[in-house]
Structure formats: structure tokens, C-alpha cells
Amino acid sequence: MPIIRDIPLSLKTKEVLRRAGIREHSKLRSKAETSICELLASVDEARLLEPAIAYEIYLITKVGKRQVSLEDNISLHCSLIHSVFPQAKELAVAVCTIGPKLEEKVTDHFDRSESWQGMLLDAIGSVAVDSLAREAYGDIRRDASLHGHQAGSPLSPGSPGFPISEQWQVLNLVPAEEIGVSLASTAIMIPRKSVSMVIGIGPQMTTWTQAEVCARCSLSKTCPYRVQA
């Protein structure tokens, strides 16, 4: 069961601004850019990021309309796999986290009524976990290509067709506890800045960009976090 640590993350100010919901023509943009630079330096100095990835690859024995069956009589309730990766041969399951330190610092800022710093640091954490998920996907895609396969785009519990309750099964399928990730009773991951995903592997997998997801999203007209092509 692969566990990867010490992963370099790309944290771009523009991405932090997007995650903080600060738009291009906002009057706050210049002040935010300065604060983000200072916060990024403090994140480095205090080593607030502890990125880690746990992943495992399972053979798929059957892709049904409502669930996918894996080796060792494991099943995952997800209708998306049938609709987007019906020809998948394997399923990669991954959990990624940046650890608890950054969100503890966010809480400190809010407790001290420093909501500006708290909000921007929280956005830095979101960009860090996004970047980590991209790293995990890149590793899985490279592994797949070594076997002449492709990796489809990641799917996460909580997406339409993939109930959030499946988060319990997803965390059973990787050594999540070894990277310090657990679930609250609501199936939300602890630390909060964590992400789980499954990736279909096989010949000719379907992929999509975040901009394509946002373009199809019902919130795209108002969502401050949307990604445009």
C-alpha cells in the first residue's frame, strides 16, 4: 500500500485569490496579494504543511450500474463509474491530506478576531490540498501508463452518483490512519484539508478539466470559486 510524504506543492497567489473568492477586479485584490505573500512565508517558516498521500490499486471484477465490484469481494456504491469508466480494469483509491497544523493556525486567527488572515490562510490550505490531489493523480497516471493504460479523471464521494456515505468504504480501502486521516460521524474527513478520490484505470479512460466541470455546474454563474477555461 503506497504512502508518499514530503511532496513539493505548488501554491500560486492567483489560485489562493480564487479559493478566497476574491475576483479579478476586486478592490481587495492588491491588499490580499500582499497578505498572501506574508502568509505563504509564515506557512513555510512554521512548516504548517505536512502533505501525505495513501493510495491503493484494486482489480475491478464487475462494473454494475449502481456499484463497482473489486477483488476480495469488495464493493463500492458509485453509479458514476458505470457511466464514465465502463471499460475500467482497475480502480485506484487515494486519500490525500496536508495534515492538521494549518487548520489549527486558521482557528487561532479566527479566535484572535484576525478573520482576514484566517480566511486567506484557509484558502492557502485549500490550494495546497488541490495541488496535492493533482500530485496523487499524476503518480497514479504515471503508474497506469507503465502498464499501457490510461487514468480517468478523479471522482470523489459526495459527487452526484457517488454518495458521501461511501467515504467510509473509501477510507477502508487505503491505510488512511497511517497518514492521520479519519472520518467524523458526518463522513467529513479529519483533518478537514484532506481529499479522497477514486480513479478508473484502463484503455481509453475519460478525462475532463475543472473548467469543464464548472461550465456544467448549476452554480457556475454565481460561484466565486469557479474555474474558467
Q: Could you tell me which stretch among 137-145, 158-166, 196-204, 214-222 binds ligand SF4 (CB under 6 A)?
A: 214-222
CA-closest candidate to residue 180, choices 97, 111, 123: 97
| Size (the chain), residues | 229
Q: What angle do CA 225, 134, 109 make, to 5 degrees?
A: 55
Question: In the set 4, 214, 228, 229, which binds ligand SF4 (CB under 6 A)?
Answer: 214
CB neighbour burial string for 13-49, b if at least 16 within 10 angstroms, e if fewer: eebbbbbbebeeeeeeeeebeebbeebbeebeeeebb
* Residue 211 interacting with ligand SF4 (CB under 6 A): no
φ, ψ for residue 203 (rounded to 5)? -80, 140
Q: Which lies closer to ligand SF4 via its Cβ, residue 67 or residue 220?
A: 220
| 3-state helix/strand/coil string of 20-50 | CCCCCCCCCHHHHHHHHHHHHHHHHHCCCCC
Query: How many residues lie near ligand SF4 (CB under 6 A)?
Result: 8
- What SS3 state is found at 17? helix
Q: Could you tell me which stretch among 91-99, 112-120, 130-138, 216-224 binds ligand SF4 (CB under 6 A)?
A: 216-224
CA-closest candidate to residue 149, choices 191, 197, 96, 87: 87
Q: Could you tell me which stretch among 30-38, 79-87, 119-127, 215-223 binds ligand SF4 (CB under 6 A)?
A: 215-223
What is the distance between the alpha carbons of residues 152 and 85, in angstroms, rounded to a whole number? 7
Question: In the set 28, 46, 112, 225, which binds ligand SF4 (CB under 6 A)?
Answer: 225
* Residue 80 interacting with ligand SF4 (CB under 6 A): no
Q: Which lies closer to ligand SF4 via its Cβ, residue 20 or residue 176?
A: 20
Q: Could you tell me which stretch among 90-98, 132-140, 171-179, 210-218 binds ligand SF4 (CB under 6 A)?
A: 210-218
Q: Which lies closer to ligand SF4 via its Cβ, residue 46 or residue 219?
A: 219
* Residue 226 interacting with ligand SF4 (CB under 6 A): yes
Residue 158: CB minimum distance to ligand SF4, A: 11
Residue 221: CB minimum distance to ligand SF4, A: 9
Q: What angle do CA 97, 73, 169 make, to 5 degrees?
A: 25
- Using CB under 6 A, list all residues that contact ligand SF4: 213-214, 217, 219-220, 223, 225-226
